[in-house]
C-alpha cells in the first residue's frame, strides 16, 4: 500500500500519458496490393470521371396481402417467406405447382437435387411432376431457412 497515494497516483497518471503519446506513425505512401498466387488480378480497377448511369425507372408491384390461399390438391404457395403447406402429400405422377405470392424472388430447390426452379419473381409459377414415390425436402436457395416437404405416395 502506498503511504502517499497522491504522489503515487500522480506518477502513475503521468506514466500513462507518456505511454499514450509514445508511438508514432511514419507511413506516408499509398499502399500497393500484392496478389498471392492468382494468375490474374482479382477485383476490378476503379476509374475516375465516368458519368453515372441514368436512373432506373420506378416500377409498380401488385402486392398481394392477406392470408395464404387455402391449398387444393397440388398447389404450394410461397407467401411471407414460407411455403404453404409445409408438407404436401400427393400420389406419384402428380404435378405440383408453386406460386410465388411474395414481392421478393424465391426458388424451389430439392435437397437431393431432383428439381431446381429458376428464380421466381412475384406471381411466377414453377411446376414439377413427381414420377417416383418418396419424401422430397426442398428449400429456397436464396433464403434457405425456408424449407418444406413434398411426400409422394404410391
Partner 1 sequence: MSDEPHTMNRRQLIRHSAWFGAAVGLAVVGGEVISHVAGTADAARSASRPTLRFAQVSDSHIGFLGKANPNVAGSFNQAIESINNLGYTPDFVIHTGDLTHLATPGQFDQVKQMMTGLRTPHVFTVPGEHDSIDDGGQKYRSAFGAGARGDGWYSFDIAGVHVIALVNTLNLKKLGHLGVDQLDFVAKDVAALPSDTPIIVFSHIPLFAMYPDWGWGTDDAAQVLSYLRRFSSVTCLNGHVHQVFSKTEGNVTFHSGTTTAYPLPHPGDGPAPKPVTLPAGKLHDALGIREVSYTRGQSTLALKEKVLQ
Partner 2 sequence: MILIRLAMAAALTVTGISHAYLYVHGYQHIPTIGTAFVVQASASFALALLIVIGGPPWLQWAAAALAGGALGAFVLSRTVGLFGFSEQGWQPSPHAAISVVAELVVVGLWAVYVIGHRRARAPQT
Q: How far is the CB of 91 from partner 1 (least distance, A)?
A: 28
Residue 23 in grid coordinates: 508511438
Print the binding letters for residues 30-69 with partner 1: x by CB under 8 A, - otherwise: xxxxxxx-xxxxxxxxxxx-xxxx-xx-xxxx-x------
Among residues 84, 99, 96, the alpha carbon closest in space to that of 131 is found at 96
Asked if residue 3 binds partner 1 (CB under 8 A), the reply is no
DSSP string of 96-124, one letter each residue: EEEEE-SSS-B--EETTSS-B---B-TT-
Given a contact cutoff of 8 angstroms between Cβ atoms, the answer to whether 110 and 83 are in contact is: no
Distance CA(111)–CA(144), nearest Å, equals 11
Contact between 4 and partner 1 by CB under 8 A: the answer reads no
Length of the chain equals 154
Residues found near partner 2 in the complex (CB under 8 A): 1-2, 5-6, 8-9, 12, 16, 19-20
Residues found near partner 1 in the complex (CB under 8 A): 16-17, 20-21, 23-28, 30-36, 38-48, 50-53, 55-56, 58-61, 63, 80-82, 102-105, 107, 111, 118-119, 121, 139, 141-145, 147
Amino acid at each position: 500500500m502506498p503511504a502517499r497515494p497522491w504522489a503515487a497516483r500522480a506518477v502513475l497518471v503521468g506514466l500513462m500519458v507518456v505511454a499514450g503519446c509514445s508511438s508514432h506513425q511514419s507511413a506516408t505512401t499509398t499502399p500497393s496490393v500484392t496478389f498471392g498466387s492468382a494468375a490474374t488480378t482479382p477485383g476490378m480497377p476503379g476509374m475516375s470521371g465516368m458519368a453515372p448511369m441514368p436512373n432506373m425507372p420506378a416500377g409498380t408491384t401488385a402486392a398481394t396481402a392477406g392470408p395464404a390461399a387455402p391449398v387444393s390438391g397440388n398447389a404450394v404457395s410461397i407467401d411471407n417467406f414460407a411455403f404453404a403447406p409445409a408438407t404436401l402429400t400427393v400420389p406419384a405422377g402428380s404435378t405440383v405447382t408453386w406460386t410465388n405470392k411474395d414481392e421478393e424472388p424465391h426458388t424451389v430447390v430439392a435437397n437431393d437435387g431432383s428439381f431446381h426452379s429458376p428464380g421466381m419473381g412475384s406471381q411466377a409459377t414453377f411446376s414439377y411432376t413427381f414420377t417416383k414415390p418418396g419424401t422430397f425436402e426442398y428449400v429456397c436457395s436464396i433464403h434457405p431457412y425456408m424449407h418444406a416437404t413434398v411426400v409422394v405416395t404410391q
